[in-house]
Amino acid sequence: MRIVQNVQQLSHIQTPDISTLFLGPFTVHIYALCVLLGALVALGGAFLRARRIHMINLFMPHAGNILDSFFVILPAGIIGARIYYVLTVPSLFVKNPLSAFCIWEGGLGIIGGVLAGLLAAYFFFKKRKISLEWFVWCAAPMVPLAQCIGRLGNWFNAELYGSLTDLPWGLDISRGAYSAQVFYHPTFLYEIILDLAVCVILLFIFRLPTEPAEISFNFSPLSFYLMLYSAGRFFIELLRTDYSDYLLGARVNIWAIIALFLLGVVITAVGAHNRKKNRSRQQNALKQIQMQ
């Protein structure tokens, strides 16, 4: 009987028994480590992409600008992610407003993080007179990779799971040896898979150039990321049962995800219009030169 029970436990995902590490007098939250590790991996990937471009064309911005921007974009992203979370579930912080600062307990909204990070990047690179499109092309494919690693923190915190399920990969949120034999959709795992898929797709579409003539920057990596991620996240959000405020009968995140998808569509449409306009100008200029 015990053997059968052990086999059943192995067929499901077990929540880790720990969520913190104690290093002498210091308490390290694994959630925070996952977020930081994800950010560092994304930084390394964006740096390598920028260095490759600079090696092909020395007139392109130096990859060191990516490293410098990290110290501005990361804090802005974390603050933006926390503000977004607090604004979408304000009722959780009415009794204890100061708990809004307890980031280590979880509660970061990636939507707010991306928007705040992008805004910080805009001002950072504007000050350095560097094209924001260059940064987007280098960094956008790495954002879902950072999300993927950061989502592991939700597993250690036993959070962001969905409705009940009898699927073999159901999540057991009971810590320790005793299991209540109740399992939930591991929506954090679904998003990890989604993030990996989006990262691979973006890296394939926006491959590193091999010749100077292939270098062309625009906001397409950003728009593709917004549309791909929000499309997948929409269905994951339908499975989630964690606390959320509602707007017009739907979770607030649902409306935010729809807005994110529409933003990606708008960026794509505007980019296509601008490229068409630029081609038209180039053709007219070429005709005028030929007429002369």
253, pLDDT greater than 70: yes
Summarised one tens digit per residue, pLDDT across range 118-164 is: 999 999 999 999 888 889 999 999 999 999 999 998 898 888 888 88
More confident residue, 248 or 216: 248
* pTM confidence score: 0.84
Average pLDDT over residues 78-100: 83
More confident residue, 271 or 188: 188
- 3-class DSSP string for the chain: CHHHHHHHHHCCEECCCCCEEEECCEEEEHHHHHHHHHHHHHHHHHHHHHHHHHHHCCCCCCCHHHHHHHHHHHHHHHHHHHHHHHHHCHHHHCCCHHHHHCHHHCCCCHHHHHHHHHHHHHHHHHHCCCCHHHHHHHHHHHHHHHHHHHCHHHHHCCCCCECECCCCCCEECCCCCCCCCCCECCHHHHHHHHHHHHHHHHHHHCCCCCCHHHCCCCCHHHHHHHHHHHHHHHHHHHHECCCCCEECCEEHHHHHHHHHHHHHHHHHHHHHHHHHHHHHHHHHHHHHHHHC
- State the chain's mean pLDDT as an integer: 83
6, pLDDT greater than 60: no
Summarised one tens digit per residue, pLDDT across range 213-240 is: 556 667 788 999 999 999 999 999 998 8
What is the predicted pLDDT for the residue at 4? 41
